[in-house]
Amino acid sequence: MNPIRLSLAEVHDFCHATLLANGLAELHAAAIARSIARAEADECHSHGLYRLIGYVASTRSGKAEVAALPELKPATPVVMRVDAHRGFAPLSIETGVPALIAAAKTYGIAALAIHDCYHYSALWADIEPATESGLVAFAFTVGQCCVAPAGGTQPLLGTNPFAFGWPGPKGRPFIFDFATSAAARGEIELKRRAGEALPPGWAVGPDGAPTTDPAAALKGALLPFGGHKGSALSIMVELIAGPMIGDLTSRQSLAADNGDGGAPRGGELMLAIDPAVFGRDSVGERLSIADELFALARQQPGVRLPSDRRYAARERTREHGVEIDPALFAELKALMPG
């Protein structure tokens, strides 16, 4: 069957209507619809329309609070907290990020902790507003507990993504965002749905043996990227996005989960730094050095910098929309009550 093609506006409106029909409050439905549409715009399908299934499941099961409003609580002039009150993350992020940017612009550096939320979105979208404001930004969150530490075979860690953003030239920040596992769990699920095998080294099955079967991987454990290096980074994310900010580790989140297939509960830490704090008179020169680094990298055949693919996708989808697998779209349409 031919793929279904939707404009980005249609993606947004479809998500918004589906979430409202399933009982989610307007502010949350709108924020999630914006989040999913942004992911599809950049052809980040693992955080796009596919995620609507989990959002609806957690709304119907009562796991997520459907109307709780996030509460911004400044801890110090440069440290802010948002209590999500067990709501979905996108609205909490939209609530806290403007305050993070303002504090970093005023004081040079700021931190934002999102607490007690159900996080299912891509981190690059969380920090892009900060980088577009001229800030350097970081984000960390604890993902679903399905990753074995290097050398192990049992899930202990989350997929634990982190992101870094630099205010790049011509309004195109340099941003990378990736899981510390060999692949995000959503990528494994999409390959299972498509009947595709995993690359070797991504996962082990329930028996601890290496597997390329996505279904076996989901029952077993994903592996960290880069062996012991990815494993150490994963533990770092567990610590700073979990106990350091007073939120759950991935193992604690799994123990508290109701098994509805939706997002895990936990927190997110975001940091923002204004390069001007290290010398306002020289900031332009320092940023131009980074621009030269990017340009020299791109001169080498075969080099593609992080976020280049997303920006190219963004131009395509703005004009042509996005393609959706017909089977997935049928499943998504079935989410509408009645």
Tokens standing for residue 163: 């992101």
Q: Are residues 177 and 42 in the same domain?
A: no
171: left (phi over 0), alpha (psi -120 to 50) or beta: left
Q: What is the mean pLDDT of residues 6-25?
A: 98
- pLDDT at residue 338 greater than cutoff 80: no
Q: Are residues 45 and 141 in the same domain?
A: no
CA distance 244 to 188: 29
Q: Are residues 252 and 325 in the same domain?
A: no
Q: Does 10 map to a domain?
A: yes
Local confidence band at 226 (pLDDT 50, 70, 90 cut-offs): very high
Q: Are residues 140 and 284 in the same domain?
A: yes
Catalytic residue among 46, 58, 92, 181: 46
Is 26 noted as a catalytic residue in this protein?
Answer: no
Tokens standing for residue 47: 């955080």
Q: Are residues 145 and 233 in the same domain?
A: yes
CA distance 185 to 128: 23
Q: Are residues 260 and 138 in the same domain?
A: yes
Question: Phi and psi at residue 142, in whole multiples of 5°?
Answer: -90, 125
Q: Are residues 1 and 131 in the same domain?
A: no
Question: Phi and psi at residue 181, in whole multiples of 5°?
Answer: -85, 165
Domain that holds residue 109: 69-181+224-306
The edge-to-edge listing of strands for the beta sheet with 210-211 is 157-158, 145-147, 221-222, 203-204, 210-211
Q: Does 191 map to a domain?
A: no
Give residue-wise pLDDT tens across range 189-201.
989 988 999 999 9
Which pLDDT does position 305 carry in this prediction? 93
Is 47 noted as a catalytic residue in this protein?
Answer: yes
Instruction: List, in order, residues 6 or more apart from 12 with CB less than 8 Å away.
Output: 33, 34, 36, 37
Catalytic residue among 47, 58, 94, 250: 47
- pLDDT at residue 1 greater than cutoff 80: no
Find the CATH number of the domain harbouring 327: 1.10.1530.10
Question: Phi and psi at residue 150, in whole multiples of 5°?
Answer: -55, 130
- pLDDT at residue 286 greater than cutoff 80: yes
Which pLDDT does position 107 carry in this prediction? 98
Q: Does 127 map to a domain?
A: yes
Q: Are residues 21 and 87 in the same domain?
A: no
Q: Does 80 map to a domain?
A: yes
Question: Which of 106, 87, 129 lies closest to 263, judged by CA?
Answer: 87
> Model-level pTM?
0.94
Q: Does 186 map to a domain?
A: no
151: left (phi over 0), alpha (psi -120 to 50) or beta: left
- pLDDT at residue 88 greater than cutoff 80: yes
Q: Are residues 247 and 321 in the same domain?
A: no
Catalytic residue among 128, 187, 238, 268: 187
Give residue-wise pLDDT tens across range 125-178.
999 999 999 999 999 999 999 999 999 999 999 999 999 999 987 778 999 999
Q: Are residues 171 and 282 in the same domain?
A: yes
| CA 98 centroid distance within chain | 18
Which pLDDT does position 280 carry in this prediction? 81
Q: Does 213 map to a domain?
A: no
How many residues comprise the chain? 338
Q: Does 198 map to a domain?
A: no
DSSP letters of 83-96? E-TT-BHHHHHHHH
CA distance 205 to 301: 38
Confirm if 182 and 224 have CB atoms less than 8 A apart.
yes
Q: Are residues 94 and 159 in the same domain?
A: yes
Query: If DSSP states are collapsed to H, E and C, what string results for 267-320?
Result: EEEEEEECHHHHCHHHHHHHHHHHHHHHHHHHHCCCCCCCCHHHHHHHHHHHHH
Find the CATH number of the domain harbouring 258: 3.30.1370.60
Confirm if 94 and 69 have CB atoms less than 8 A apart.
no
Three-state DSSP class for residue 27: helix
Number of domains composing the chain = 2
Q: Does 55 map to a domain?
A: yes
Is 46 noted as a catalytic residue in this protein?
Answer: yes
CA distance 300 to 162: 27
CA distance 76 to 98: 16
CA distance 78 to 227: 36
Question: Phi and psi at residue 115, in whole multiples of 5°?
Answer: -115, 145
Burial of 228 (0-12, 13-18, 19+ CB in 10 A): exposed
Q: Are residues 174 and 318 in the same domain?
A: no
